[in-house]
């Protein structure tokens, strides 16, 4: 019996030992298998890196207006006689728009024109007096001189002619005396008869007589010439007196003309002023454009600077902005902009910044401001011009303007939500060929609202794992793209 009990105890101990060995071996095998089994893949959103455009912008609201938009005001007090245009009409520069009525000025104009006509007659009459006085002066200068001068000239010719006769008589006498000497020599020799000598002597006497008469005539003519010259000298004083009187008459007449001319010019200036005032009664278009608003009607009374109508050039549309000083410091002329009506699914129109005020102003509460500005806050005025007229936006309405401050085109772009900034340098988890998430440092460039430029660290086609708060996304984690993973980046 003791042997049997010992045997049973040994068998029981062996059985328990075998069970324990099996359990230990099975646990070890389970541990080894569990340790060498690959980690389970995690489904995470994945985005594919692509090239695209990125930009930074600011949004402002402004008021749409047309180029040259302005409200014309009444230049004077009166009444509207006739409105010549209708809403929406296209008008040209200089075209009459509204006629104002002022009867008093019409009467003043007629009286002024009558005074000018009277002054014109007076001026013409005095100018004629000047002509007459100048003619009298001319006559006075020539009077008693013209006839005497002619007589003197005639006498001088006579004296000259008679002096020539004296010369001719002297030559004739010399010729006759020479001939007489020759005949006397022949007579002494007896070659000629005596009567021929006596005839020649008679010719010499006649030549002497002719010379004496010629000299006497010259003397007489010279005395007559001197008498005429003395007569001219005696009449010079009388002529000077008449000239002085005539010159005085000319000066008086010219003075009267000058005074009348100045008075005429003064009346003309007054007439121009009155005509200008009457012309102001016709309100004309200062620009080519469209009639946007008419604020008066026929027969309505107006005061000085009463609003009449509003014009604007529809060929160019502008948006007037009031920028905060912070945003204004970022804006530059010629930056591109996008304009749209404030509201959902609004059509967008392209434009550019046309002007930016160099100073900031403080607006009062009753002035038009951007919705983001408050009364009393300093703002900077700016204008944005649409590249082409929209023909849809309404002048005076509020529109949204998105100004592009910076822009990069055809660069590597990544969603901002894919970038992890928990360390000193930004990094992303890139899904490798084995599907595991690998950490990769990146360098960032221009950052937009929803995406950012990656200047180094990524290439187009890389798959970046988006971090998820409820999923494990650590380096080395096997990943599979979720069904709704993003395949690219929106620009």
Q: Which domain holds residue 48?
A: 43-55+408-481
Q: What is the pLDDT of residue 371?
A: 47
Percent of the chain scoring above 90 in pLDDT: 31
Bigger pLDDT: 390 or 102?
390
**Average pLDDT of every residue of the chain:** 81
Q: What is the CATH number of the domain that holds 444?
A: 2.40.420.20
Q: What is the pLDDT of residue 250?
A: 78
In-domain check, residue 22: no
* 51 and 115 housed in the same domain: no
**Rounded to 10 degrees, what is the CA torsion of 165, 167, 170, 174?**
-120
| Predicted model pTM | 0.54
Q: How many domains does the chain have?
A: 2
Q: What is the pLDDT of residue 66?
A: 93
Secondary structure of residue 215 in the 3-state scheme: helix
pLDDT at 434 over 60: yes
* 265 and 126 housed in the same domain: yes
| Residues sharing a CB contact under 8 Å with residue 320, sequence separation 6 or more, in sequence order | 62, 63, 65, 368, 381, 382, 383
Contact 304, 107 (CB under 8 A): no
In-domain check, residue 299: no
pLDDT at 484 over 70: no
Can you list the pairs that 346-352 forms with residues at least 24 positions away whose Cβ atoms lie under 8 Å?
346/400, 347/392, 349/386, 349/387, 349/388, 349/390, 349/393, 350/386, 350/387, 350/388, 351/319, 351/384, 351/385, 351/386, 351/387, 351/401, 352/384, 352/385, 352/387
Q: What is the pLDDT of residue 491?
A: 46
* 120 and 246 housed in the same domain: yes
Q: Which residue has the tokens 């990524």?
A: 458
In-domain check, residue 69: no
* 47 and 188 housed in the same domain: no
In-domain check, residue 418: yes
| Residues sharing a CB contact under 8 Å with residue 425, sequence separation 6 or more, in sequence order | 441, 442
Per-residue confidence at 410, pLDDT binned at 50, 70, 90?
Answer: very high
In-domain check, residue 27: no
* 51 and 114 housed in the same domain: no
* 47 and 172 housed in the same domain: no
Q: Which residues pair with 98 in a beta bridge?
A: 83, 283
Report the distance separating Cα 430 and Cα 187, nearest Å.
168
Per-residue confidence at 455, pLDDT binned at 50, 70, 90?
Answer: very high
* 261 and 117 housed in the same domain: yes
pLDDT at 210 over 50: yes
| Range of weakest confidence among 49-58, 184-193, 227-236, 259-268 | 227-236
pLDDT at 33 over 60: no
For 18, 36, 126, 478, the CA distances from 31, given in Å and listed in that order, are 20, 9, 137, 22
pLDDT tens digits for range 375-401: 668 999 999 999 999 988 999 999 999
| Range of weakest confidence among 68-77, 265-274, 296-305, 408-417 | 265-274
* 116 and 205 housed in the same domain: yes
* 127 and 207 housed in the same domain: yes
In-domain check, residue 357: no
In-domain check, residue 300: no
* 51 and 121 housed in the same domain: no
pLDDT tens digits for range 225-266: 788 777 777 766 666 777 777 778 778 878 888 887 888 788
HSE (side-chain half, CA atoms, 13 Å) at 97? 32
In-domain check, residue 32: no
Q: Which of 211, 243, 278 is the last residue of a domain?
A: 278
Q: What is the pLDDT of residue 490?
A: 44
Q: Which of 233, 254, 278 is the last residue of a domain?
A: 278
Q: What is the CATH number of the domain that holds 164?
A: 1.10.287
For 81, 242, 303, the CA distances from 298, given in Å and listed in that order, are 6, 71, 15
| Range of weakest confidence among 273-277, 295-299, 370-374 | 370-374
Q: Which of 278, 312, 328 is the last residue of a domain?
A: 278
Q: Which residues pair with 453 in a beta bridge?
A: 413
**Burial class of residue 233 (count of CB atoms within 10 Å of its CB; 0-12, 13-18, 19+):** exposed
Angle at 47 between CA 46 and CA 50, to 5 degrees: 155
| Residues sharing a CB contact under 8 Å with residue 264, sequence separation 6 or more, in sequence order | 116, 119, 120, 123
Among the ranges 117-121, 440-444, 476-480, which has the highest mean pLDDT value?
440-444
Instruction: Report residue 73 as tokens.
Output: 């005001």
* 248 and 142 housed in the same domain: yes
* 254 and 150 housed in the same domain: yes
């Amino acid at each position: 019996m003791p042997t049997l009990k010992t045997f049973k105890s040994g068998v029981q101990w062996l059985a328990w030992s075998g069970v324990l060995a099996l359990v230990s071996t099975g646990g070890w095998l389970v541990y080894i298998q569990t340790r060498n089994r690959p980690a389970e893949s995690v489904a995470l959103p994945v985005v594919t890196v692509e090239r695209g455009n990125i930009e930074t912008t600011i949004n402002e609201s402004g008021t749409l207006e047309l180029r040259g938009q302005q409200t014309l005001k009444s230049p004077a007090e009166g009444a509207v006689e006739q409105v010549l245009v209708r809403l929406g009409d296209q008008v040209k520069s200089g075209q009459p728009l509204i006629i104002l009525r002022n009867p008093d000025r019409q009467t003043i104009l007629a009286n002024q024109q009558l005074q000018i006509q009277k002054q014109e007659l007076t001026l013409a009459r005095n100018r004629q007096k000047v002509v007459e006085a100048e003619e009298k002066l001319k006559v006075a200068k020539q009077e008693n001189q013209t006839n005497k001068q002619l007589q003197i000239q005639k006498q001088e010719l006579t004296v000259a002619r008679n002096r020539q006769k004296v010369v001719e008589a002297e030559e004739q006498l010399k010729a006759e005396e020479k001939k007489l000497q020759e005949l006397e020599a022949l007579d002494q020799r007896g070659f000629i008869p005596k009567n021929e000598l006596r005839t020649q002597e008679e010719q010499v006497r006649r030549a002497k007589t002719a010379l004496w008469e010629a000299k006497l005539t010259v003397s007489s003519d010279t005395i007559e010439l001197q008498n005429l010259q003395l007569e001219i000298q005696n009449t010079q004083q009388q002529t000077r007196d008449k000239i002085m009187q005539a010159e005085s008459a000319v000066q008086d007449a010219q003075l009267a003309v000058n005074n009348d001319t100045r008075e005429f010019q003064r009346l003309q200036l007054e007439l121009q002023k009155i005509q200008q005032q009457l012309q102001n009664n016709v309100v004309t278009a200062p620009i080519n454009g469209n009639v946007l608003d008419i604020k008066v009607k026929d027969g309505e009374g107006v005061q000085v600077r009463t609003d009449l109508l509003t014009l604007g050039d529809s060929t160019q549309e502008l948006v007037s902005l009031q920028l905060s000083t912070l945003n204004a410091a970022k804006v530059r002329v010629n930056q591109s902009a996008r304009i749209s009506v404030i509201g959902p699914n609004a059509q967008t129109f392209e434009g550019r910044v046309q002007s930016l005020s160099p100073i900031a102003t403080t607006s009062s509460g009753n002035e038009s401001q951007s919705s983001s500005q408050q009364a009393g806050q300093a703002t900077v005025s700016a204008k944005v011009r649409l590249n082409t007229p929209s023909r849809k936006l309404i002048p005076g309405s509020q529109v949204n303007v998105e100004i592009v401050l910076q822009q990069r085109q055809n660069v590597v772009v990544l969603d901002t939500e894919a970038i992890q900034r928990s360390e000193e340098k930004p990094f992303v988890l890139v899904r490798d060929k084995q599907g595991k998430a690998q950490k990769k440092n990146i360098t960032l460039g221009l950052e937009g609202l929803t995406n950012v430029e990656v200047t180094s660290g990524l290439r187009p086609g890389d798959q970046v794992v988006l971090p998820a708060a409820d999923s494990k996304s650590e380096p080395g984690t096997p990943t599979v793209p979720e069904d709704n993973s993003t395949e690219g980046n929106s620009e």
